[in-house]
């Protein structure tokens, strides 16, 4: 693992399974890999359709402040989440978006994967897009093993949904493994590109 603190923000809307994905991520890092972890969440007043955000801090040393300040990795599962939380991403951070639902991307340093489309077309269930995204985030963060993510997912998945969730997780892992992070351009915002 990278030394020190690594902050991840998962964002989207209610009903997209953002909080479950964060819980699986935190359990994989904290319980299964023995790292220090802090997980928190917030969501709008609407249960479905309102804004939803979940933060996970992972560290190899004690976590002195439990809130994400500047995410190293921001997952945005829809346009509103991208627009709202992108401003907090570290300058050298990584933006990961669901390209099925995010079409205006504010930086060229982005990994765009159609999580919702993969869930709908390849797996036949749009509701597992969160697990496709989680598989990708696990690989792209470079701090949690795919096996720990799968084990934590199986522990957390609703009874009877383990197989579809496992397949969704592996679909995301496969997509992310095909991406070479070293080939991503340096961080430039769309405002800088206009200059």
Q: Is the pTM of this model over 0.75?
A: yes
Q: Of 113, 144, 163, whose CA–CA distance to 25 is shortest?
A: 144
CA distance 58 to 47: 27
Instruction: List the domains of the chain with CATH numbers.
Output: 5-194 (3.40.920.10)
| Residue-level pLDDT, tens digit, the chain, 195 residues | 456 899 999 999 988 999 999 999 999 999 999 999 999 988 665 555 677 899 999 999 999 999 999 999 999 999 999 999 999 999 989 999 999 999 999 998 899 999 999 999 999 999 999 999 999 999 999 999 999 999 999 999 989 999 999 999 999 999 999 999 888 887 665 555 555
> Tokens at residue 65, please?
């402040």
100 Cα distance to chain centroid: 15
Residue 121 CB neighbour total at 10 angstroms: 11
Instruction: Determine phi and psi for 57, rounding to 5 degrees.
Output: -110, 130
């Amino acid at each position: 693992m990278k030394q020190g603190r690594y902050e991840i923000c998962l964002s989207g809307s209610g009903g997209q399974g953002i909080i479950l994905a964060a819980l699986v991520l935190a359990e994989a890092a904290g319980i299964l890999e023995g790292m220090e972890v802090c997980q928190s969440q917030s969501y709008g007043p609407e249960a479905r359709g309102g804004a939803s955000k979940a933060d996970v801090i992972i560290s190899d040393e004690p976590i002195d402040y439990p809130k994400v300040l500047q995410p190293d990795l921001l997952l945005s599962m829809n346009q509103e989440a991208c627009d709202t939380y992108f401003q907090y991403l570290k300058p050298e951070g990584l933006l990961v978006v669901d390209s099925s639902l995010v079409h205006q991307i504010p930086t060229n340093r982005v990994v765009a994967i159609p999580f919702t489309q993969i869930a709908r077309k390849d797996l036949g269930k749009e509701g597992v897009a969160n697990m496709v995204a989680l598989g990708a985030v696990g690989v792209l963060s470079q701090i949690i093993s795919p096996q720990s993510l799968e084990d934590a997912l199986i522990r957390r998945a609703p009874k009877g949904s383990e197989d579809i969730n496992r397949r969704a997780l592996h679909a995301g892992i496969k997509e992310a493994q095909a991406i070479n992070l070293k080939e991503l351009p340096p961080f430039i915002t769309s405002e800088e590109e206009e200059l």
